[in-house]
Amino acid sequence: MAISVSLRAAWKRYWNLSSFRWLFLACLLLLALMPVFFHWFFGYIESRRGDQWSDSLLDALPGKDVSWVVFFFLYSGVLLGIYRVRTLPDHLLLAIQTYLGVNIMRVISLSLLPLEPPVGYIPLQEPFVQLFTPDGTIISKDLFFSGHVSTILSFYLAAPRGTTKYYLLICVGFVSVGVLLQHVHYTADVLAAFAGTYISYRIAKQVQRKVGIGRVGVVGNW
């Protein structure tokens, strides 16, 4: 009962801020439109021919199918991150803003830089993403930069300090290493994901500050 009251109280406080309300609704609208857009966009990037880079780190790594390791740490981290910030609406909005920002960056970079999968590529079985691809196709050219790494990083950066943030850091590590072991991404894709996500996070924080979304609740250490 106390948790539900705290949850309602936190959201009521933030929802009374018109800047938060409209920004949150705008982000939800963009999230709702993403599957429609990416259904077309994934088909587009798969149809192109691109370059194949040499990557000394990947050459040194044995190819391993770790699809379910990547899947587990990605989605357990996302779900736990959402649960953690359920009473911290500004942190949830920050995670969504960061996620949307990196996807906008990725659309631009993927459009400008067509690539072929690395040597030793092993298809990553991703049941959730495949729901939004043409005919459930596994996308192999969604490369620069890594969507898996940037997604879990979005929640890590937006999470408040505490146990959950430490777990999210572990998830970032497993997802980053996993996509390299499976040779579904170049090393540059993973490094660029770190840079791009941090830039998006900083922009999202500036947007919240500019529109007057400040700390209304109390950050715990769960």
- Residue 130: predicted pLDDT: 66
Determine, yes or no, domain membership for 6.
no
The answer to whether residue 110 scores a pLDDT higher than 50 is: yes
The answer to whether residue 210 scores a pLDDT higher than 60 is: yes
- Residue 164: predicted pLDDT: 95
Cα 66 from Cα 166, distance rounded (Å):
22
Measured torsion, CA atoms of residues 31, 36, 41, 42, in degrees rounded to the nearest 10: 90
Determine, yes or no, domain membership for 158.
yes
Determine, yes or no, domain membership for 50.
yes
Between 141 and 137, where is the model more confident? 141
Number of structural domains in the chain: 1
pTM for the full predicted model: 0.91
- Collect all residues with Cβ–Cβ distance below 8 Å to 8 and sequence separation of at least 6: none
Instruction: Provide the residue type at 57 as one letter.
Output: L
Range of lowest pLDDT (10-14, 16-20, 133-137, 195-199)? 133-137
Determine, yes or no, domain membership for 56.
yes
Nearest alpha carbon to residue 126 among 65, 197, 202? 65
Share of the chain above pLDDT 70, in %: 91
Q: What is the mean pLDDT of residues 30-37?
A: 94
State which residues form the domain around 195.
11-210
